[in-house]
Amino acid sequence: MSPPLSLVEWIASSLDDLKDFPEEVKQAVGYALYLAQCGEKHPNAKPFKGFKGAGF
């Protein structure tokens, strides 16, 4: 059995904003978020600078 996925925390209008994107973009972002929930990193993902613990 695999470990549970980490939760995604949506800030302000970020989820509503994502819903307005084209389907192809939503799928790409969704997959990248899924990988992050699994503790992995999408090859195109870059951590924010200045956030403690954001680097992989």
pLDDT, one tens digit per residue, over 1-44 is: 777 899 999 999 999 999 999 999 999 999 999 999 999 999 99
Residue 48: pLDDT band by 50, 70, 90 thresholds?
Answer: confident
pLDDT, one tens digit per residue, over 22-32 is: 999 999 999 99
- Output b/e per residue, 19-48; b: 16+ Cβ within 10 A: eeeeeeeeeeeeebbeebeeeeeeeeeeee
Q: Which stretches of 1-56 are assigned E, i.e. beta strand?
A: none
Mapping DSSP to helix (H, G, I), strand (E, B) and coil, where does residue 30 land? helix
pTM (predicted TM-score):
0.75
